[in-house]
Amino acid sequence: MTALYAIGDIHGQLASLIQAVEWIEKDGGPEAPIVFLGDYIDRGPDSRGVLDFLIQGRLAGRHWTFLKGNHDRMFEWFLQSPSRADPHLFTDLSWLHERLGGQDTLRSYGLDFSTRRRLSAVHEEALRRVPKAHRDFLEGCPLVHETEDLFFCHAGIRPGIALSDQSEEDLLWIRQEFLEFMGRHPKLIVHGHSPVEQACHYGNRINLDSGAGYGHPLTAAVFEGRNCSILTAQGRSKISKPA
């Protein structure tokens, strides 16, 4: 059975990303197929470096699939003209709010937030500094990836809705309606978006967001059919199940 690999939310953690890819290549070789679950940017120190690394891998012909996360879409929409805000956010938040990490992302492109700035000036400078290749990458990321047994997406799915009919908003943003559902899904759902202390198998879904955006380890996993293991420096280890 051919192994398929996945990496959870990266959030600007380039060193952790490089390490995760090294673990995968040690386990499955340089041609190992990898599904990235989105949220490449924000909060961490080197969002630009992460996108450069992923784009270089694609240009080198790696068998990598890049799904879109909600943070990636917020960055993509910010770079539109005029800049576009995500309506899913609460009224007191924006992508540039410190909780979401947009300023961290733009700092990695050389923008300075040490003094108070107008949004229009930040937007204008971002359009100059963010390479077109990065904008094209963000715009081109698909929302889902499927195999016979697995359904990969960033946030999750809305229970009771066919996989083919899932909305973009739910695939990028859903939380409680999905996380609290204990019934069977058409396929095993592999997702990120909602950070947990360590990657966990809930029976109907597997969460690979282990909180790299908050300085915790990034998770790389290997799938053989519905069977899943976590990769570490020592090799494969059994994925945990909720207590």
| pTM listed for this prediction | 0.96
| Residue in this structure with the two tokens 């019934």, named with its chain if needed | 183
Burial of 235: CB neighbours in 10 Å, binned 0-12, 13-18, 19+: exposed
Q: Where are the domains of the chain?
A: 4-238
Return the pLDDT at 114: 92
Residue 231 scores a pLDDT above 70: yes
DSSP H or E segment with residue 204: none
Return the pLDDT at 242: 77
Residue 1 scores a pLDDT above 70: no
If we measure between CA atoms, which residue out of 94, 121, 122 comes closest to residue 109?
122
Residue 2 scores a pLDDT above 90: no
DSSP H or E segment with residue 120: helix 119-129
Tens-place pLDDT, residues 192-208: 999 999 999 999 999 99
As a whole number, the mean pLDDT across the chain is 96
Confidence at 241, pLDDT banded by 50, 70, 90: confident
Residue 32 scores a pLDDT above 80: yes
Report yes or no: 4 and 222 within 8 Å, Cβ to Cβ: yes
Return the pLDDT at 75: 98
Tell me the average pLDDT across 20-42: 97
DSSP symbols for 83-108: ----TTS-TT--TTSTTTTHHHHHHT
Residue 240 scores a pLDDT above 90: no
Tell me the average pLDDT across 119-140: 97
Residue 243 scores a pLDDT above 70: no
User: How far, in Å, CA of 100 to CA of 211, rounded?
Assistant: 14
Q: What CATH number does the domain located at 4-238 have?
A: 3.60.21.10
Q: Check residue 81 and give left, alpha or beta (phi > 0: left; psi -120 to 50: alpha).
A: beta
Beta bridge partners, 152, equal 145, 190
Tens-place pLDDT, residues 70-100: 999 999 999 999 999 999 999 999 999 999 9
Confidence at 40, pLDDT banded by 50, 70, 90: very high
| 215-to-107, 155, 210, 236 alpha-carbon distances in Å | 18, 20, 10, 22
